[in-house]
Amino acid sequence: MEIMNPDGFQFRALVVEDNPADALLLEDVLRRTRDAQFEITHVERLQDALASLAVASHDVVLLDLGLPDSQGPDTVTRLRQSQPGVPVVVLTGLDDEAVGISAVQLGAQDYLVKGSLTPSVLGRSLRYAIERKRAELAVMAHLKEAAIVEERNRIAGEIHDILAQDFVGILLQLEAARDLSGSNPGEVAKCIQLAEAVARSGLAEARRSVWALCPPELDAEGLVGAVQSFLSRVAVGNPTAIGFSLRGEPYPLPNDKALGLLRICQEAVVNALRHAQASKIRVQLTYEPSGVDLCVHDNGRGFDPKAHAGGKGFGLISMRERAERIGARIEISGEPGQGTRLTVVARTSTGDGEGHSS
Amino acid sequence: MKVPESIRILIADDHPVVREGLSAMINRQPDMKVVAEAGDGREAVEQFSQHRPDVALIDLRMRGMDGLQAILAICRRFPGARLVVLTTFDDNEDIYRALQWGAKGYVLKGAPREELLECIRTVHAGKSHIAPTLAARLAERFSKPGLTAGN
């Protein structure tokens, strides 16, 4: 992305600012930064920013939150949904620190207060934003890779432990049937029956594996039905009380979004069962006109979200990743001993937004 | 004519249908008899100690204590044990270890049963029986220093 040159670094910055005076000032400050050089593209609207990012790569975006076509922290969300890989530094007015903080919570790397910008503050903030984002992307890529490897190993393990053994079992019975065909018809029938039974259970296992990879209920019954049938399956023989409730009128969701929500739900419920020692788990789906919320609430031993903020715990990372992929946000609240509440907010983005299904 | 004594065999596999199928097939051979069966590694060690079979067939991958650990345990306690490794896939690193630790033969599950029977007879006769494809790879591996330590 950047070109190394002997004098320092050169970066491409996209300045999104509708106020011409502010924009000029920014460009001036940027030109005077010493430890890096910035090649500046300036646009005035969010739509133009998205268009620029779609056609050319930029190393960093400097984003004003009061644009003609988008105001407030939502601007960050919309930009990130379209271009999750580009670091964003937000510009706020003097009295808007709270807005800046919520922009950072929504994924901006930093916020800067207009009017107090010096070349060194701005240059350093942008450099840090770029480096931090790069490190974040590298970690994400690594985790994604690790998740894929883990999934592959799991599938290989299932094929090995179940399907291959079933084939061996069938083979042995067929060989036996061949051996006995001349001498003992009664035994032959038994062998064939056993082979049939093994083939049938192997088929059921194969179906289960395929279901886990790509649940057909999702097509047939939609997200609500798929969540319900998952819950009723885990509830069998489980002492934990698992409840489901639905709010609002369900409507069809894009496939990747429905699958992402189902997977997060499965992971959250399995986590609660395995680690939380919960006696009750409640799953709720809320259909709002603007999107769907999923909430998984348990009364288990809870956990400290701050301790997990760095993303320890593989389940949490992969849930966050899944959420990110469908443009959703995960909120986890809970304290040790108080149970855990996980909420996924998957609101329909205003733009194209569906983004990066895999 | 003298009737040779049957080869007494232990089968360890955690898949019941595989175990029963192997057992039935072996018992149909005039010169072989299954004397014990085990569903995991721990049972395999127990059954081996109790019955002292002439040959034991041990699946490498079982739930609980797996076959590799069982092979190590048996070979340590009974240095003369004649063990045959059963595996589903032949690219398994554990096969090398099992053979290093003292297993005498190796057969891929689902191989023609003549191969398994021949392997049992060969190992019972005190020789090694390793599939030719694996033997070549094995020679290559064991010629590399540093890989013989078991890791």
Q: Tell me if residue A115 falls in helix, strand or coil.
A: coil
Instruction: Find chain A residues with C-beta within 8 A of B22's C-beta.
Output: 172
Mean pLDDT score of chain B? 86
Asked if this assembly's ipTM is beyond 0.85, the reply is no
Domain A218-347 fold is Heat Shock Protein 90 (3.30.565)
Kindly tell me if the per-residue pLDDT of A54 is higher than 80: yes
The SS3 assignment for A346 reads strand
Q: pLDDT (tens digit, 9 = 90+) per residue, A175-217?
A: 889 888 888 888 899 889 889 988 988 887 787 777 767 776 7
Q: Which domains does chain B have, with CATH numbers?
A: 7-142 (3.40.50.2300)
3-state secondary structure of A90: strand
pLDDT for position B41: 93
User: Nearest chain A Cα to B110, which residue?
Assistant: A168
Kind and range of the H or E element at B34? strand B32-38
- pLDDT, residue A303, reads 65
Contacts of residue B132, defined as CB under 8 A and 6 or more positions apart, other chains included, come to none
**A207: closest CA among A231, A233, A168?**
A233
Interchain contact, A168 vs B61, CB within 8 Å = no
How many contacts does A have with B, using Cβ atoms within 8 A?
50
pLDDT above 80 (res B140): no
Report whether A331 contacts A308 (CB < 8 A).
Answer: no
Q: DSSP of A261-304, one letter per residue?
A: HHHHHHHHHHHHHHHS--SEEEEEEEEETTEEEEEEEE-SS---
Q: Do A172 and B22 touch (CB under 8 A)?
A: yes
Q: Which residues pair with B7 in a beta bridge?
A: B32
A171 in B contact zone (CB under 8 Å)? yes
Q: What percent of chain A has pLDDT over 70?
A: 89
- Rounded (5°) CA angle A223-A226-A230: 135
Tokens 């990743």, residue located: A321
Distance, CA of B95 to chain centre: 10
Name the pLDDT band for B120 (thresholds 50, 70, 90): very high
In this prediction, residue B2 has a pLDDT band, given cuts at 50, 70 and 90, of low
| Residues 4 through 23 of chain A touching chain B, CB cutoff 8 Å | none
Phi and psi, residue B96, nearest 5°? -60, -45
Residue A167 forms contact with B (CB below 8 Å): yes
Residues on chain A touching B94 (C-beta within 8 angstroms): none
Confidence of residue B91 (pLDDT cuts 50, 70, 90): low
- Please check whether residue B64 touches A, CB under 8 A: no
pLDDT of residue B49: 96
d(CA A258, CA B39): 41
B20-58 pLDDT tens trace: 899 999 999 999 999 999 999 999 999 999 999 999 999
A1 falls in which pLDDT band (50, 70, 90)? very low
Length of chain A: 358
- Is the CB of A177 inside 8 Å of chain B's CB atoms? no
Percent of chain B with pLDDT over 70: 89
Q: Which of B15, B61, B89 sits opposite A169 (nearest CB)?
A: B15
State mean pLDDT over A278-285. Answer: 92
pLDDT at residue A357 tops 70:
no
The answer to whether the beta carbons of residues B58 and B19 sit under 8 Å apart is no
Asked if A171 lies within 8 A of B110 by C-beta distance, the reply is: yes
Q: Chain B: give the shortest CA distance to residue A273, in Å.
A: 22
What pLDDT, in 10s, does the model give residues A318-348?
A: 788 788 878 888 888 877 777 888 999 988 6
All residues of chain A having their beta carbon less than 8 Å from the beta carbon of residue B89 are 160, 164
The model's pLDDT over B7-27, given as tens digits with 9 standing for 90+, comes to 999 999 988 889 989 999 999
In the predicted model, is pLDDT for residue A243 greater than 50? yes
Report, at the CATH architecture level, how domain A3-140 is classified: 3-Layer(aba) Sandwich (3.40)
| Chain B partners within 8 Å of A196 (Cβ) | none
Q: Taking CB atoms and an 8 Å cutoff, what residues of chain A touch B20?
A: 194
- Residue B3 — very low, low, confident or very high, per pLDDT cuts 50/70/90? low
Q: Encoding tokens for residue A249?
A: 């009128």
| Chain centroid, CA A187 distance in Å | 55
Which candidate from A167, A176, A194 shows the least CB-CB separation from B25? A176
pTM: 0.55
Category of A280 on φ-ψ map: left (φ > 0), alpha (ψ -120 to 50) or beta: beta
Contact status of B25 with chain A (Cβ, < 8 Å): yes
A10: left (phi over 0), alpha (psi -120 to 50) or beta: beta
Q: Does any CB of chain B come closer than 8 Å to the CB of residue A209?
A: no
